[in-house]
Structure 1
């Protein structure tokens, strides 16, 4: 006899055979579930593969980081500092290190090295950091000088974005 369980869709009482998660009526939700699993795997397995990355991730769970994060959000009034440097006003709720921890561990708890950043700018900045500093899983550090100024980083991010569109 096959193993069955309820469909995972909220309020649905249809029965489904394992290993399926949704009935035929809610099959479109299967892709969403896979995306959630991939996200979980990245955050809990891939991202923490090396010991240094594991330590960085632990830091973001500490009360010290939570207090520092709130301090920076209040200081920046919840506005993306990178958009602000480009003359735009964007609400944001992420706090990012201007100089990545991977480059300088000593700047991890310095409020002056932190800035509020929106999702789009964070994605662009991560890509820019990978090309400029050589950060990331498989990259090696380039040895280029640290840039501590948000306005300068925003300008370099824009230049990098423009260059990618052209080429």
Structure 2
């Protein structure tokens, strides 16, 4: 039996036999769609982009050491302990009376600010992807962390309860 799918035209629910993507009614759009896919296929791949990013990161010895830590066994085991301790729940969401699962181990005080505190389990909180992304942006403003930024002399916030509601700005 041939593989089938739906026509890519919005609100058209006609069945299409693969490798086509449009039904006979919208067949004139097939060539443009295939050309678009070809352009995306021939673009620089993500692996090259990440390779360039890794090359930039490895120029900075601190960033290279930080990357090595996050890839290591010690971080994986600390993260696993924190996941079990926090019951796989985002601590930033819980702090604002929302319940959401999380699987990202996040340093409350960023690694860049206090590298000596990187293995302290009290400095690790579990975060959902939304909170982690928002907190990373907040850290870049508050602490000056991130690639190319200069660290500020900010007072470290050590408790999840003292941090702002990151998702308030996302919704």
- Give the TM-score normalised by structure 2: 0.70
Residues 26/133 of structure 1: CA separation in 2 closer, same or farther (3 Å cut): closer
Q: Deviations over 1:107-155 (max 9, x none)?
A: 1000000000111111111111011011112221210110001121144
Matched, 1:84 2:94: yes
* Residue ranges of structure 2 left out of the alignment (5+ in a row): 1-18, 20-33
Superposition deviation, residue 92 in structure 1: 1.2
Correspondence for 2:119: 109
Separation in 2 of the partners of 1:68 and 1:107?
12
Superposition deviation, residue 33 in structure 1: 7.1
- Structure 1 residue runs of 4+, over 6 Å off? none
2:146 partner SS: coil
* Residue ranges of structure 1 left out of the alignment (5+ in a row): 1-11, 13-22
Residues 61/153 of structure 1: CA separation in 2 closer, same or farther (3 Å cut): same
Residues 25/103 of structure 1: CA separation in 2 closer, same or farther (3 Å cut): closer
Separation in 2 of the partners of 1:153 and 1:127?
13
Correspondence for 1:34: 45
Correspondence for 2:147: 137
Equivalent pairs, count = 139
1:116 partner SS: strand
Separation in 2 of the partners of 1:58 and 1:46?
14
Q: Deviations over 1:4-55 (max 9, x none)?
A: xxxxxxxx9xxxxxxxxxx86953762897345434543x223333100000
Superposition deviation, residue 64 in structure 1: 1.4
- Give the TM-score normalised by structure 1: 0.71
Matched, 1:60 2:70: yes
